[in-house]
Amino acid sequence: MQTFLIFLVAIFGYAEYFLFGRGQTYRPIVMCAVTGLALGDFKAGIIIGAQMELAFIGVQEIGLSTPQDMVSASIIGTAIAIRTNGSFSTAIAFGLPISMLVLFVQNLVYILISPLFVQKCEDIAGKGETKKFSRWAFWGGTLLHFGPSIILVTVTFVLGNYFAKTIMSFIPKFVQDGLVIASGILPAFGFAMLLEMIMKKDVFPFFFVGFLMAAYLKIPIIGIAFFGVVIVAIMYFRDEQNKNNQKEEVSTDEDDDF
């Protein structure tokens, strides 16, 4: 039953594109919690997911960049950590290698199989079979890109159930201690990646405003978030007002010319 539930969790994670659009449901904070719920330890899933999200907070698919596969890392890392009574360091130790393996398989599919699939879709489109083309493009593309990943995650979970504790017992104590230290560094690394993305003159002042409000005014994070919502609303309505004023000016100029 747990294997079947993990299979469904993997489908939920990889099905984001045609279920929720870009709903960010593939993020560790969601996937780890759902995995914990499937394995009967929702609390551990939430805790591991929050810590893993800090490590991956700056990881985004931008342009042609392909980061680590967060779905497999979250599911397998959380599952093995729960099964072995481990912690976040255990989840990272097992999750990251699996994510790199899944990413490798995905790249192989993109390079070797996707071109053949695209050629087939072009042949169907050339015959004018629009309905068949839609089915192939949607369902075929989805299964081609995410099917191998779902199967690999499920198989890894089955193997992990039997071998995770044995593998953990063979890992030396100093290596486990190093993983604990590394797990404390990863959140800082994730925030550094996030800062690199927001280091823009139009956005960076807001970061300092939030930092000063938290550090010196002791305002809780929820309060700062509400302040952010108010600022966004003010900026939005101001921009809308400026657009309306510009439209009125253009309309007035056209009437004067007429």
SS3 66: coil
Whether residues 189 and 205 fall in one domain: no
Both 39 and 76 in one domain: the answer is: yes
Among 198, 220, 249, identify where a domain stops.
Answer: 198
DSSP state, 69?
-
Kindly state whether residues 160 and 223 are assigned to the same domain. Answer: no
As for how many domains the chain has, the answer is: 2
pLDDT tens per residue across all 258 residues of the chain: 888 888 888 888 888 766 666 667 888 888 889 998 988 889 888 988 888 887 777 666 654 455 677 888 888 888 888 888 877 777 877 777 777 777 777 777 777 777 777 788 888 888 888 888 888 777 777 777 778 888 888 888 887 655 545 555 666 777 656 655 665 565 666 667 667 766 777 777 888 888 888 888 888 888 888 988 998 899 888 888 888 877 777 666 555 555
Same domain, 91 and 216: no
Task: State which residues form the domain around 159.
Answer: 2-198
Predicted pLDDT at 121: 82
Looking at 57-140, list the stretches that DSSP marks H as alpha helix, in order from N- to C-terminal side: 70-83, 88-108, 114-126, 130-135
The confidence score (pLDDT) of residue 24 equals 75
Q: Within this chain, do residues 139 and 15 fall inside the same structural domain, yes or no?
A: yes
What is this structure's pTM? 0.61
The verdict on 14 and 26 lying in the same domain is yes
Same domain for 246 and 124: no
CB 14 within 8 A of CB 141: no
Own/partner pairs for 206-213, CB < 8 Å, 24+ apart? Answer: 206/231
